[in-house]
Structure 1
Amino acid sequence: MTPGQLALAAAAAVEAGADAVHVHPRGDLSRETLDWALVSLTLEAVREAIPGVRVGVSTHAGIVPDPVERLALVRRWPHPADGGPDFASVNWHEEGAVELALALRTQGIGVEAGIWTPRAAGSFVATSWPWQVERVLVEAIPRRTPGGYGTWAAERILAALGPQPAAVLVHGEQEWAWPVLRLAQTLGHDTRIGLEDTLYDQVGRRVETSAELVRLALA
C-alpha cells in the first residue's frame, strides 16, 4: 500500500521476470489517488528500486469518478523525463476516456487503451487512436466483460479489435486470470499477472506476492 512497500513488490516482480510494472499509488487511508504530490512519491520509490524499468499507473474512474476532476488531476502530471509515469491505462468505456488519453499523450506519457468489451473495441477501432497508443490492454473481467468464461470473452474482444498496429496485452481477473493468461501466451500476446488480478495460483492456493504469480506465469 505504501510507496516503500510498492517499491519492494516491484523489485521482487522484476527479479521474478517482469519487464514492466503497473502500480496503484495510494494516499490517505490507503485510497487510490491521482494527486501528483502523492503519485510522485510512489513513482520515485519504485524507480529507485527498479531503475530503467518502465512504470505505469491507472486512471480508472473508481479513483476519481468526476471526469472533469480526473482530467484536471492528470494534466498536472509531468513528462516521464521529469518524473511522470512512463505509461498509464485509460479504460475506453469510461466517460472522458479520449480527453484523458489526449492529455497523457500531450505530456509524453504512453497510453494503454483498456478494452473491456467488444463494444468498447468497436468504438476504439473506429478512431485514429489505434495508431496513437503504446499498447492495447484487453481485459477480461468476470461480470463486467460479456461472456460465460474468460477465454471466450477475451477472444470476442480480440475479434472486434482485429489486427492492431500497437502491442496487444491480454489479461483476465479473478477466476478468469489464469485461463486468459495462458490464452495470451498461446496467441503470442503480451500478458500480465499480479495481486490486482488474482490472489490464487492455478490450483486455487493462496499466494502472497505478485512476484510469486510472475514466477508461476513464466513456469
Structure 2
Amino acid sequence: MITACLNGARLRGAHPRLPVTAEELGVDAAAAVASGAGMLHVHPRNALGRESLSAADVVAAVAAIRGHAPGVRVSVTTRDGIVTDHLAKLRALREWPEPAEGGPDCASVNWHEPGAVEVARVLRARGVGVEAGIWTPRAATAFVSTPWPWQVERVLVEAIPGSSPGSNARWSVERILAALGMSPQPLLVHGEQGWTWPVLRWAQAAGHHVRIGFEDTLVLPTGQEAYDNAELVAAALGGDARSHAHR
C-alpha cells in the first residue's frame, strides 16, 4: 500500500499546488487516489493557513477528503509545535469526534516526543487509530519496551535527514528496523527530503508499505519538480502518465 502525504508542515509558497484549505485537500486527495494511493495523511489548517489540531479544522479537512475520496482511510498529524504545549495538545485531541462522527480514522504519534504515550491513549479513547512514528533507534527501543506495539494500527519507520541517525538513508532505516525487531503490526517505511526516493525504492523492494507526497518531497526521481501529489504517487508506482499529460 502507498500512502499519499499531501501537505505536511510546508508553507503555501513551497509549491503552487500545495493543498492547504479543506477543499484543496479534498480535490488533491481524489487525484492522489486516482493515481494509486490507498491511504491519505494530512496536516489540517485553520482559516489563516496554519496547522491546526482543533476539532473544527480537523473535521473540515477529513470531511472534504471523504467527500472527494470516499472509503479511503484518512490519517492526520499530532506533531509537537502545532499548539503551545503538551497539555494544549491533549485538550485539543480530547475534543476530536470519533471516526464515525467525523473524526479521522487514525493519527500519527511521534514516539520521540515527550508524552507520546499519553497522546496515543487519548486517541485510542476517541476511537482513533494510532500510527507510531519512529525516527530513531532510541525511539524504537522506547516503543518496544511498552505494550503499544500490539495496540497501534501501523508503525511508521521515518528516515529524516538531520533527525534520524547517520548520513546514509538505507543505513539509517536499517538501524531503526534493527532496534524495532519483529513488529506485530504492518510497517510503513519512508524518507524525507533527499532520502525520499532511495528509502521508498528500498522499502518497496523489501515489501513494506510506503508513502510519498509533498510532505516528503517536491521532486520526482529525476529531480524535476512534481506537478502535484498525484504525479508523485504515479512515479512511486512506476507510472508516468501524469508527467506526460502536464509537460
Does residue 6 (structure 1) correspond to residue 25 (structure 2)? The answer is yes
Does residue 156 (structure 1) correspond to residue 175 (structure 2)? The answer is yes
Does residue 190 (structure 1) correspond to residue 209 (structure 2)? The answer is yes
- Quote the offset at 1:208 in angstroms: 2.5
Moved more, 112-121 or 56-65: 56-65
Tell me which residue corresponds to 1:26: 45
Q: Which has the higher contact order (CA 8 A, sep 6+)?
A: 2
Q: Secondary structure at the match of 1:103?
A: helix
Structure 2 counterparts to residues 55-94 of structure 1, below 5 A = 55-94=74-113
Q: Deviations over 1:159-180 (max 9, x none)?
A: 1101100110000000000000
Q: Distance in 1 between matches of 2:67 and 2:108?
A: 22
RMSD after superposition? 0.8
User: Which AA in structure 2 matches 1:209?
Assistant: D
Q: Deviations over 1:149-203 (max 9, x none)?
A: 1111111101110110011000000000000001110111100000000001112
User: Which AA in structure 1 matches 2:64?
Assistant: A
Tell me which residue corresponds to 2:122: 103
Residue identity over aligned pairs, in percent, reads 59
Q: Secondary structure at the match of 1:206?
A: coil
* TM-score normalised by L of structure 1: 0.98
Q: Distance in 2 between matches of 1:106 and 1:5?
A: 30
Runs of 4+ displaced beyond 6 Å: none
Q: Distance in 1 between matches of 2:102 and 2:48?
A: 24
Q: Distance in 1 between matches of 2:232 and 2:84?
A: 30
Aligned residues: 219
* TM-score normalised by L of structure 2: 0.87
Tell me which residue corresponds to 2:15: none
Where in structure 2 are there 5+ consecutive unaligned residues?
A: 1-19, 239-247
Q: Deviations over 1:56-103 (max 9, x none)?
A: 100000212400100110011111111110000000000111000001
Q: Distance in 2 between matches of 1:13 and 1:156?
A: 31
Q: Secondary structure at the match of 2:212?
A: coil
User: How has the CA–CA distance of structure 1 residues 187 and 65 changed in structure 2, closer, same or farther, with 3 Å as cutoff?
Assistant: farther
Does residue 202 (structure 1) correspond to residue 221 (structure 2)? The answer is yes
Q: Distance in 2 between matches of 1:53 and 1:73?
A: 24
User: Which AA in structure 1 matches 2:105?
Assistant: D
